[in-house]
């Protein structure tokens, strides 16, 4: 005879909890569907929500535990820093705040799941967005055996039905659930979707903006900021040394006050949908401009051009959830190796929504006044240009002569080529 089997332990699911409607409903739904224990984990990447309140809400709904992990510093230093070095802007515009935060959240969730011995990780993303891909692909890379659940993709409820479900089950939902917009925030950007913004022709109402002032409220005189860079990263603001997190926070305030950092574009999602996205990212916009400008001053031409093509590919990788891919790591190594000389100061003028680089200096500057000047002291050898142009233009000249020959007597005029050549090389 064998002893009665031990009662199976209750399954433990770790839920990436934002405090919003989807993840609040998910706590209840997961418990009901799987009869499991749900642990809520919120990763703080600088969203302005009241995260203590979110923890209380998670427990009130039925989470056995609720944690907030402060990952702001790590977000700045391990995720935003490489993005700055790579000038990472998706489709030339979007500084990737949401896309960079998801792999960090996945990293924290995996750490926590392993520590608590969780059986699965759940997220509240729907089936239409990029974030489901970023969460899941990142978890697959970090914990290949981990089970992943996506309740909001499975339950097939509309937003109204979700609110109905919440009311029916006594789930306290944040008042903001009734707001028409879907907002995602981190220190790097604030993304606003839905509501009237779904009409691609409708101008975003002023009321959606929280980080940036419209032209009517921003100061009537310009403000200058000086950003100091060391090996590709911003290290000081107006002469004061700051760590990256503080520098981003200060610059968000300063540039946002001048209305800098509003982005409104049509974006190609990974899942094939075009969406109208509105962002506020004052610090990101200023830092990317400043960093690129400094690179232009200190990097050789061929490296600058080559890096610009890699930057686009890098932004695509990050956007598409491949942060933990070997390719992304290899690209980081390339970007790092280009940044040694990216040290110097950039002066940016902020005024009524625009940020313009108006001055730059660097100990590694490749800009030479002696070569560039049109005035006295010019050291450029003007006579060398003639031979250079002969060689540079020769393929075009030969092509043109050959094409004339094809249309005419069938023989290329070798004399014309030789004559020109003897004129130059006498
Ligand atoms: N379109 C951006 C991205 O995919 C931002 C998404 C913001 N998410 C949100 N729930 N509002 O990275």
Q: Is 267 in the pocket of ligand 1 (CB under 6 A)?
A: yes
DSSP sequence for 258-281: TTTTEEEEEEE-TTS-EEEEEEE-
pLDDT tens-digit map of 189-213:
999 999 999 999 999 999 999 999 9
- Please, are residues 194 and 255 in contact by the beta-carbon 8 Å criterion? no
pLDDT tens-digit map of 85-112:
999 999 999 999 999 999 999 999 999 9
Q: Is 191 in the pocket of ligand 1 (CB under 6 A)?
A: yes
The number of C-alpha atoms within 13 Å of 289 and in the hemisphere containing its C-beta is 22
For the chain, give the mean pLDDT.
Answer: 93
Asked whether the predicted pLDDT for residue 391 surpasses 80, the reply is yes
Q: Which CATH architecture has domain 190-370?
A: Alpha-Beta Complex (3.90)
Q: Is 218 in the pocket of ligand 1 (CB under 6 A)?
A: no
Q: Which atom of ligand 1 approaches the CA of 129 most closely? A: 4
**Mutation choice for ligand 1 from 105, 131, 270, CB with most ligand atoms inside 8 A:** 131
pTM value is 0.93
> Which residues are marked as active site?
22, 102, 131, 182
Q: Which CATH architecture has domain 12-77+88-179?
A: 3-Layer(aba) Sandwich (3.40)
Position 354 scores a pLDDT of 98
State the pLDDT confidence band at 404, using cuts at 50, 70 and 90. confident
C-alpha to C-alpha distance for 129 and 272, rounded to whole angstroms: 9
Contacts 24+ apart (CB under 8 A), 150-156: 150/122, 150/123, 150/125, 151/26, 151/29, 151/30, 151/33, 151/122, 151/124, 152/22, 152/25, 152/26, 152/124, 152/125, 152/126, 153/125, 153/126, 153/127, 155/25, 155/29
Q: Is 70 in the pocket of ligand 1 (CB under 6 A)?
A: no
Q: Which atom of ligand 1 approaches the CA of 192 most closely? A: 11
CA quadruple 252, 314, 125, 38: dihedral sign: negative
Sequence-separated (6 or more) residues with CB below 8 Å from residue 366:
297, 298, 299, 300
Mean pLDDT value across residues 259-280: 97
Q: Where are the domains of the chain?
A: 12-77+88-179, 190-370, 371-426
Distance 189 CA to ligand 1 centre (A): 10
Q: How far is CA 367 from CA 87, 306, 371, 379, 424, in A?
A: 21, 19, 8, 13, 30
Helix (H) or strand (E) holding 82: helix 81-85
Distance 290 CA to ligand 1 centre (A): 25
Asked whether the predicted pLDDT for residue 409 surpasses 80, the reply is no
User: What is the percent of the chain where pLDDT is above 90?
Assistant: 87
Q: Which atom of ligand 1 approaches the CA of 279 most closely? A: 5
Q: Is 98 in the pocket of ligand 1 (CB under 6 A)?
A: yes
């Amino acid at each position: 005879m064998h002893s009665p089997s031990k009662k199976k332990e209750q399954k433990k699911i770790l839920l990436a909890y934002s405090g919003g409607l989807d993840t609040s409903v998910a706590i209840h739904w997961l418990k009901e569907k799987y009869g499991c224990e749900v642990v809520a984990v919120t990763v703080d990447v600088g969203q302005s929500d009241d995260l203590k309140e979110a923890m209380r809400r998670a427990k009130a709904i039925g989470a056995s535990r609720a944690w907030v992990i402060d990952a702001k510093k790590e977000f700045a230093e391990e995720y935003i820093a490489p993005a700055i070095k790579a000038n990472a802007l998706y489709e030339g515009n979007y500084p990737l705040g949401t896309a960079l935060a998801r792999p960090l959240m996945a990293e924290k969730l995996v750490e926590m799941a392993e520590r608590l011995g969780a059986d699965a990780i759940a997220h509240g993303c729907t089936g239409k967005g990029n974030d489901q891909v970023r969460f899941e692909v990142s978890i697959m890379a970090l914990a290949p055996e981990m089970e992943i659940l996506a309740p909001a993709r499975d339950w097939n409820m509309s937003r109204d039905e979700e609110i109905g479900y919440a009311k029916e089950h006594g789930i306290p939902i944040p008042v903001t659930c009734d707001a028409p917009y879907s907002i995602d925030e981190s220190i790097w950007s604030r993304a606003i979707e839905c509501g009237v913004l779904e009409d691609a022709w409708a101008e975003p109402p002023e009321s959606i903006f929280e980080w940036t002032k419209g032209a009517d409220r921003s100061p009537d005189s310009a403000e200058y900021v000086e950003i100091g860079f060391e090996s590709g990263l911003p290290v000081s603001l107006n002469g004061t040394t700051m760590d990256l997190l503080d520098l981003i926070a200060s610059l968000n305030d300063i540039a946002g006050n001048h209305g800098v950092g509003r982005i409104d574009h049509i974006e190609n999602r990974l899942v094939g949908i075009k969406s109208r996205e509105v962002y506020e990212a004052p610090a990101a916009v200023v830092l990317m401009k400043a960093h690129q400008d400094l690179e232009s001053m200190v990097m050789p031409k061929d490296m600058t051009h080559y890096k610009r093509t890699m930057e686009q590919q890098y932004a695509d990788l990050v956007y598409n959830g491949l942060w933990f891919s070997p390719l992304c790591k290899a690209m980081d190594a390339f970007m790092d190796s280009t940044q040694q000389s990216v040290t110097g100061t950039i002066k940016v003028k902020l005024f009524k929504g625009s940020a313009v680089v108006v001055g730059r200096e660097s100990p590694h500057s490749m800009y030479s006044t002696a070569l560039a000047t049109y005035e006295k002291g010019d050291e450029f050898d003007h006579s060398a240009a003639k031979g250079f142009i002969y060689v540079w233009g020769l393929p075009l000249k030969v092509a043109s002569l050959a094409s004339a020959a094809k249309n005419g007597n069938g023989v290329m005029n070798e004399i014309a080529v030789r004559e020109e050549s003897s004129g130059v090389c006498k």
